[in-house]
Amino acid sequence: ETGVTQSPTHLIKTRGQQVTLRCSSQSGHNTVSWYQQALGQGPQFIFQYYREEENGRGNFPPRFSGLQFPNYSSELNVNALELDDSALYLCASSLARESYNEQFFGPGTRLTVL
């Protein structure tokens, strides 16, 4: 059984650029959630995808968008990057969309915006 993987591991961008982060969910999981974790903070929910449809969104602007593919892998896109977007971006997959299900997190992508 393969765990959740994310790519790239690290990324450096400049303000105003666009970035795409990728996530492969654990085998058998149809739900992927994305979280942003700033230094010293807990993860904050960005959005969730369930069977290729967005199924809930946190308090993030529209320049944060996502996709889920038929194999349940997912992408997070961020446009018009701002300095405050510098954070660890975590992807989590689960067996179903209900929040009480155990979330399996990937190692994260560390994004630095200069």
Partner 1 sequence: SQKIEQNSEALNIQEGKTATLTCNYTNYSPAYLQWYRQDPGRGPVFLLLIRENEKEKRKERLKVTFDTTLKQSLFHITASQPADSATYLCARTGANNLFFGTGTRLTVIP
Cβ neighbours around 44 below 10 Å, total: 15
Helix runs in 1-114, H state only: none
Report how many residues bind partner 1 under the rule CB under 8 A: 28
**Choice between 48 and 68, CB closer to partner 1:** 48
Q: How far is the CB of 34 from partner 1 (least distance, A)?
A: 10
Strand bridging mode 109-113 / 87-94: antiparallel
66 binds partner 1 (CB under 8 A): no
The order of strands in the sheet holding 19-24 is 5-7, 19-24, 74-78, 64-68
60 binds partner 1 (CB under 8 A): no
Cα–Cα distance measured from residue 12 to residue 25, given in angstroms and rounded to the nearest whole number: 24
Q: Does 102 bind partner 1 (CB under 8 A)?
A: yes
Site for partner 1 in 26-45 (CB under 8 A): 33, 35, 40-45
Q: Which residues bind to partner 1, rule: CB under 8 A?
A: 4, 33, 35, 40-45, 48, 50, 55-56, 58, 90, 92, 97-100, 102-108, 110
